[in-house]
Structure 1
């Protein structure tokens, strides 16, 4: 007997049908049916009387209902107890390096001033590693390029930024990759979602013959661009922090450049400290919007 089977049983008892229970539980009807059948097999009795009008509780089902509800209530109260720990404990947070440059310092400073008892572990990882480590439970929370579509993960928009094409100042306007007049393009590793997007931009613009050089330092990227050696993709928030950013030309990538940074966590495993951090992030967003910071979602 499992919790999800009892939850399906109570939902059918409440709605009078499998389809109604599926809507309440946000599941497919076949999944609800399987759980009811498994529960009946496990208990060795029929829990519902089935007819054309729907499903009604059998005598055994009526006997089980109150007990099942108490079990579910106890389960939820236990989960709440584990989430409502005193301010303290640990928060393991992963983030893209671009998030660490501009957004994270203000967020962490505000969070630590309020929750000094929380032990923070902040890790810099590529987007592919962030998604994997959140799914495996190695990270409580991550900030990564999104949205991430997975039944095992949940996400919430943190802020919106813009990916830009950066060239030397004398470069003509660029509307697509075919109009680039340079020998190479600077990007990230293949395990980074920004690199996936850049490769797609090149493919759609039929410019797959343009060499892409992987550089892990934004300062080095900008130095190469300033010297007229090539072009680069950079987030606006990162570019504006780099010395010499006024010495290059910036080109909009349009919709291809829109960048959403999302909080990401494992479904059903949002810790209290992760909730606190996101709450502080929301407050920070409101402050920055009031100050005219336009890149927040």
Structure 2
């Protein structure tokens, strides 16, 4: 096994095609086919499931990809350290939508200005999707609802969010879930930690939400609440940042449910120079 094989493997894993991967690494397709087969023989497992002209990762391939990415990242970091250059390379960050919208724009602007050699990518989604991305190696780090108890992850608390229950204008004050038992709610997909938090708030008061409408954005949720079609839960800073926030009523959840800490997480033992540079710009949540 050598670094060239790992680069070839990553290219095939990401493109799903020998031809496309060969173009990326500037090799002929036959060379890639031979080197990938040699890598599989060396490891004693099949890394790809071959279907007609396409290749998709086998279960062993998914596991190996995370290690392959990590090895190449460490090699690149080692080269940077000994050469004394400033951090460079790819830094893929995942984030909750609300964090990306209202918490980190200034941080990202400073980061891009200070480290122009770093190729920065941002992806947004619910906590579950972001955690999977970090574990699989497709994300260098991610902002999620924390803390995250996983042996392969570590991180730090960064932001403290006040969670609000949002209702249409004129709605009576909501102090507990029993008052809105059976009400329709708007939330992200089931792997969203905020949605689980909202459902837990109901359950703790021996209440249940009615129909749960899955939405893709806070703006969509807010529009439905303004129309009187149900309730939503969202961070106070996110709510205040949106046009239309003055058209709804909002109250903080009860003290036990009121605050959620947003954590930045990464793979244990994989804090790269790019990530260190990024974390230096972040606040520390008390």
- 2:263 is the counterpart of 1:262: yes
Tell me if structure 1 keeps the 8 A contact 2:165–2:234.
yes
User: Is the contact made by 1:146 and 1:260 (CA closer than 8 Å) also made in structure 2?
Assistant: yes
- 1:220 to 1:133, Cα distance in 2 relative to 1, 3 A: closer
Counterparts of 1:184 and 1:246, CA distance in 2: 21
1:276 CA displacement: 0.5
The aligned runs of 1:105-254 (5 Å cut-off) are 105-180=105-180, 183-208=183-208, 210-253=210-253, 254=255
Structure 2 Cα separation of the partners of residues 216 and 146 of structure 1: 21
* Gap change, CA 1:274 and 1:83, over 3 Å in 2: farther
Tell me the secondary structure at the aligned position of residue 163 of structure 1: strand
1:183 shift after superposition: 4.0
Determine the structure 1 residue equivalent to 2:99: 99
Larger radius of gyration: 1
Deviations 1:190-244 (A, max 9, x none): 0111111111112122222522211222222112212222111111121111111
Cα distance in structure 2, aligned partners of 1:160 and 1:108: 19
Q: Any idea what SS the aligned residue of 1:161 has?
A: strand
Change in Cα spacing, 1:160 to 1:209, as seen in structure 2 (3 Å) is: closer
Cα 1:243–1:80 shift into 2, 3 Å? closer
1 CA distance for matches of 2:131 and 2:278?
Answer: 19
Structure 1 residue runs of 5 or longer lacking an equivalent are 1-77, 286-295
Deviations 1:32-64 (A, max 9, x none): xxxxxxxxxxxxxxxxxxxxxxxxxxxxxxxxx
Counterpart residue number, 1:281: 282
Q: 1:81 to 1:234 in 2, by over 3 A?
A: same
Change in Cα spacing, 1:225 to 1:209, as seen in structure 2 (3 Å) is: closer
Provide the secondary structure at the position in 2 that maps to 1:240. Answer: helix
In the comparison of the two structures, how many residue pairs are matched?
A: 209
- State the 1:83 CA deviation: 6.8
d(CA) in 1 for partners of 2:262, 2:85: 29
Q: Deviations over 1:53-104 (max 9, x none)?
A: xxxxxxxxxxxxxxxxxxxxxxxxx998457362221111111111111112
**Which deviations, in whole Å up to 9, do the C-alpha atoms of 1:117-161 show, x marking residues without a partner?**
110011113211211221222211111110101221101111111
8 Å contact kept, 2:163–2:259: yes
CA–CA distance in structure 1, aligned partners of residues 85 and 206 of structure 2: 56
Cα pair 1:224 1:230 within 8 Å, conserved = yes
Secondary structure of the corresponding residue to residue 120 of structure 1: strand
In the alignment, the residues of structure 1 paired with residue 152 and residue 140 of structure 2 have an alpha-carbon distance, to the nearest angstrom, of 14
Give 1:86's aligned residue: 85
| Structure 1: 4+ residue segments shifted above 6 A | none
What TM-score, normalized by structure 2, do the two folds share?
A: 0.68
**So what's the TM-score if we normalise by structure 1?**
0.65
Give ranges in structure 2 of 5+ residues lacking alignment.
1-74
SS in 2 for 1:148: coil
Instruction: Name the CA shift for 1:136/1:220 in 2 (closer, same or farther; >3 Å).
Output: closer
Q: Equivalent residue of 2:234, what SS? A: strand
CA deviation after TM superposition for structure 1 residue 274, in Å: 0.5
